[in-house]
Amino acid sequence: MALDPALLGTIRRMALENASGHGGHAAAGPLLSKVLGTNPELRGRSAEVRSAIDAVVSEVAALSLDAQRAELERLGGPIRSSPREAKGREEGALPELPDAIDGKVVLRLAPFPSGALHIGNARMLYVNDYYRRLHHGRLLLVFDDTVGSQEKRIAPELFDVIRHDLDIAGVPPDEVLYKSDRLPTVYRWARRVIDAGGAYVCTCPAETLQANRAKGTACPERSQPGGETADLWQKMLDGGFAPGEAVLRLRTDLADPDPAFRDRVLCRLSDLDHPRVGRRWRVWPMLEFSWAVDDIELGITHVLRGKDLVMEDRMEAFVWKLLGERGPPFLHWGLLRVAEAKISKSKGYQQVRSGEYDGWADPRLWSIDSLDRRGIEPEALRRFTLGFGLSLADIEVPAETLYAENRQLIDPTTPRRSAVIDAREVEVADYPPELARTELPNHPDRPELGRRSVPAGPRFLLAGSDLAAHPGGEIRLKDLVNIELPSPLPVSGPVPARFTSRENRKLPRVQWVGASGAVPVSLLDPDGTHRIGLGEAALAEATPRQVFQFERIGFVRVETDQVPGVSPLRVCFGHP
């Protein structure tokens, strides 16, 4: 049965997207993994799908890059820039920090503890770490653990999870601080703002506040005398107002073009329990005000963050000017998306807590921990991130861009092993008895990695999809012998086959595993599904966190809690 024309159209579009992000060159392997990953019913026809992909990739390769992008645009895009086109791959492409003094640079990371750090946070980690290392400075981890809303609660375990993520990423902070410990300092600054005539206590209902802000209309309290504001502020601190009854607002221009900047809230009341300080504090600052305070108090010399936080920049700068303070400069970057990564911290937290996801290292989260679980090296993530510099453009790239960095790092030292998914046993008649064991290289291009002795025929394990693709045909068991399959194939039980020759002829090449001593394998895919197969006997010696390349499957990492010799061998798929 021919492949569905709609699927062929999807394959062509994917090939064009892949090529447009890689200088005009599409890679068939990642496309095959993506097609089979999103269409599991096609795994039994993988050879047919691969053949179709190869044909499309050849057609796309014959087009110029401009022609590829023109066709992709007609199909609705998106046209993705390659890292080289976006910003060059050299770390040196990052701009100099203004007025940076060697040994005096102080930077900060400011995560809100509502979820694990993920690939979307990697730019924050590695850009700050790059400049910390470049200027022999300090990097502070300051948890933004101010009390949020009922819907956005602080998860107490996330403090340790985030510190663990930083360890995995290779970005150790020089000091760890918590906003929840720093409220007395914030209160002193709030009083300074009040004394400077820059704030007032507003008791308008939230709906009225929002409506007045949208219209640029002053609240009745906006004309409060400074003394009255100070008294009302103290009343907030002393528990004289209930949550929602009063806020401290900054006096900005009510005619500001951005309604969101008009008289923004500085502090609000909350009676929610905080996982570290309980109900010690009732008055909590908004994050931008807390940073107006701490970027001065902690001696931050440069603030590096996403361009989506420009409003926070304005707030900080307004407060500093009001109080005669000179704050650090701001440097920004645009949004960097990995097309395959669908990230939501709040949803991810719910899925982890409910048990739907396998903890914070579940590969569907695209967390730093999950990337480590998949065998993505921190250095690959660092190179991937820094390669885009501080471009303000929003960039979307395929995951293959990250995988290519990782492949370059790990391929030279990663041993190969054989494994087959959905295995069926094949018994080969007339098989040469002297080939009951054979030697295979641990790496096709690295003889220094040695060789291994593995069981071979006459009993083999082959993928059911490979058998189904060649009934009655002659195939080559990779790096071994040629055999002929029967037609039709038996519905169940061992498949009888016949030895034909040892000659390395032009035949379809099929991955195999010797049935003797084969190891059951459970392969966790990035979409959270498990594939069951059998691997070569040498995998019985696999150790936790060891990385292999399963030939014709991809790079995998042995699970951290895997007990050597215990069946099945559980591995997590990294990438093709």
User: What are the pLDDT digits (tens) for 469-501?
Assistant: 999 999 999 999 999 999 999 999 999 999 999
pLDDT of residue 338: 93
- Is the domain of 174 the same as that of 202? no
Tokens at residue 421, please?
């998914």
Which residue, 255, 200, 257, is CA-closest to 227? Answer: 200
DSSP state of 89: S
Specify if 296 maps to a domain: no
Enumerate residues 6+ apart whose C-beta is below 8 A from 278: none
Q: Are residues 472 and 487 in the same domain?
A: yes
Same domain flag for 495 and 569: yes
Nearest CA to 575 among 545, 558, 555? 555
CATH of the domain at 516: 2.40.240.10
Q: How many domains does the chain contain in total? A: 4
Cβ atoms 247, 202 nearer than 8 A: yes
Last residue of a domain, one of 62, 85, 108: 85
Residue 359 covered by a domain: yes
520 and 452 housed in the same domain? yes
Cα-Cα-Cα-Cα torsion 100, 102, 103, 108, nearest 10 degrees, comes to 30
Task: Report d(CA 523, CA 17) in Å as an integer.
Answer: 28
Contact by Cβ (8 Å): 376, 129: no
Q: Return the pLDDT at 540.
A: 94
Is residue 324 within 8 Å of residue 221, measured between CB atoms? Answer: no
Do 36 and 112 have their domain in common?
A: no
Q: In this predicted structure, what is the pLDDT of residue 90?
A: 41
Residue 317 lies in a domain: no
Residue 430 belongs to a domain: yes
Is position 315 within any domain? no
- Provide the residue range defining the domain that includes 374: 99-180+334-409
Please tell me the distance from the alpha carbon of residue 294 to that of residue 495, in angstroms, as a whole number: 71
* Domain stops at, among 37, 56, 85: 85
Same structural domain for residues 229 and 242?
A: yes
Residue 226 placed within a domain: yes
Residue 208 lies in a domain: yes
As a whole number of Å, the end-to-end CA separation of the chain is 27
Q: Can you tell me whether residue 247 is helix, strand or coil?
A: strand
Residues 455 and 388 in one domain: no
91 in any annotated domain = no
pLDDT value for 357: 94
C-alpha dihedral over 551, 556, 559, 565, to 10 degrees? 10
**pTM across the whole model:** 0.81
Task: For residue 263, count CB atoms less than 10 angstroms from its CB and return exposed for 0-12, middle for 13-18, buried for 19 or more.
Answer: buried
Assess whether 28 and 174 both reside in one domain.
Answer: no
Point out the residues of the chain with pLDDT beneath 50: 79-92
Give yes or no: residues 432 and 574 share one domain.
Answer: yes
State whether 186 and 251 are in the same domain: yes
d(CA 354, CA 332): 36
Convert 449-473 to b/e letters by CB count within 10 Å (16 or more is b).
beebebbbbbbbbbbbbbbbbbeee
553 and 420, same domain (yes or no): yes
Angle at 496 between CA 490 and CA 499, to 5 degrees: 145
Alpha helices in 216-304 (DSSP H): 226-237, 287-297
Domain boundary among 376, 409, 442: 409
Same domain, 271 and 357: no
Contact indicator for 211, 250 with CB cutoff of 8 Å? no
Distance CA 316, CA 186 (A): 13
CATH number, residue 346: 3.40.50.620
- Give CA separation, 6 vs 26, 76, 176, in Å: 20, 15, 53
